[in-house]
């Protein structure tokens, strides 16, 4: 499966951001990609107003999602990103959407809200209450995660035990001491925990690190971006996945079964 990862700096203007997403979708589809992963919270962002993502929240029936669905109508590219979707007045859910064939084929409300490093996402954002689905893309089973979820190995393991072979992760990873190291270490660790490919897209604005990556089931980075807006590609190989899982059967070697992983 050919995958594309698009990173960009999300602006204050949702109309500008939707055009950026549409452009990435057209490029990825034209290059023959079957999966495109974009960053977290691509609706709107402002360095001087940390609440803009929630203030700009839309419903599932408004223009941002409608335009993405229309773009996808005549191809088989699956696009994954997150948006803030309205819940109650003044609040929203950080919602991952998988879009293909003109519709939203799966959605997931972020479980682990980023209440860390002096940030409190839960102040205005409602947490999800259930694990995301595992969906099929080009014959691969794909588990869905969002940003801070990557720090919780039990979630990645739950998805792998449900059949996931690929984990996707839209993110907006904040800058800070050692944060690039945290990001790369955690992506590799989740790949090794689960023997899954990991496809992670990072927002690359002034406050976030970018550094989108595709990591193979042995924790090896096979495609990466730096700080600049870009679209990167990688090939996920079913035979490589099978070889790794035969050589490193951690999912089979587990000695303990956890009745409740969350």
Contact 142, 174 (CB under 8 A): no
Q: Which residues are catalytic?
A: 40, 110, 147
Strand partners, 169: 200
- The answer to whether the CB of 47 falls within 8 A of the CB of 39 is no
How far is the first Cα of the chain from the last one, in angstroms, to the nearest whole number? 30
- How many CA atoms lie within 13 Å of 113's alpha carbon, on the beta-carbon side? 19
Q: Residue 34's closest CA among 206, 224, 233, 250?
A: 233
Reading the block at residue 114, the tokens are 């980023």
Paired strand residues for 2: 235
């Amino acid at each position: 499966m050919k995958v594309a990862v698009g990173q960009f700096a999300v602006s204050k203007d949702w109309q500008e951001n939707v055009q950026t997403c549409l452009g990435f979708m057209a490029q990825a589809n034209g290059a023959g990609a079957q999966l495109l992963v974009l960053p977290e919270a691509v609706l709107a962002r402002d360095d001087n107003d940390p609440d803009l993502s929630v203030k700009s929240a839309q419903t599932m029936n408004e223009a941002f999602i409608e335009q993405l669905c229309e773009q996808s109508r005549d191809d088989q590219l699956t696009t994954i990103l997150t948006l803030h979707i309205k819940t109650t007045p003044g609040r929203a859910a950080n919602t991952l959407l998988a879009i293909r064939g003109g519709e939203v084929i799966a959605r997931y409300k972020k479980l682990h809200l980023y209440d860390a490093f002096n940030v409190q996402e839960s102040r205005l954002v409602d947490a999800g209450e259930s694990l995301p689905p595992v969906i099929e893309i080009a014959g691969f089973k794909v588990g869905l995660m969002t940003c801070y979820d990557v720090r919780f190995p039990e979630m990645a393991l739950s998805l792998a035990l449900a059949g996931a072979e690929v984990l996707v992760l839209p993110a907006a990873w904040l800058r800070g001491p050692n944060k690039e190291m945290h990001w790369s270490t955690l992506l590799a660790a989740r790949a090794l925990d689960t023997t899954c490919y990991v496809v992670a897209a990072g927002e690359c604005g002034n406050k976030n690190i970018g550094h989108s990556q595709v990591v193979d089931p042995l924790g090896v980075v096979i495609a990466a971006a730096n700080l600049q807006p870009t679209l990167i590609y990688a090939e996920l190989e079913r035979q490589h996945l099978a070889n790794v899982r035969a050589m490193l059967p951690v999912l089979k070697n587990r000695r303990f079964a956890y009745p409740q992983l969350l």
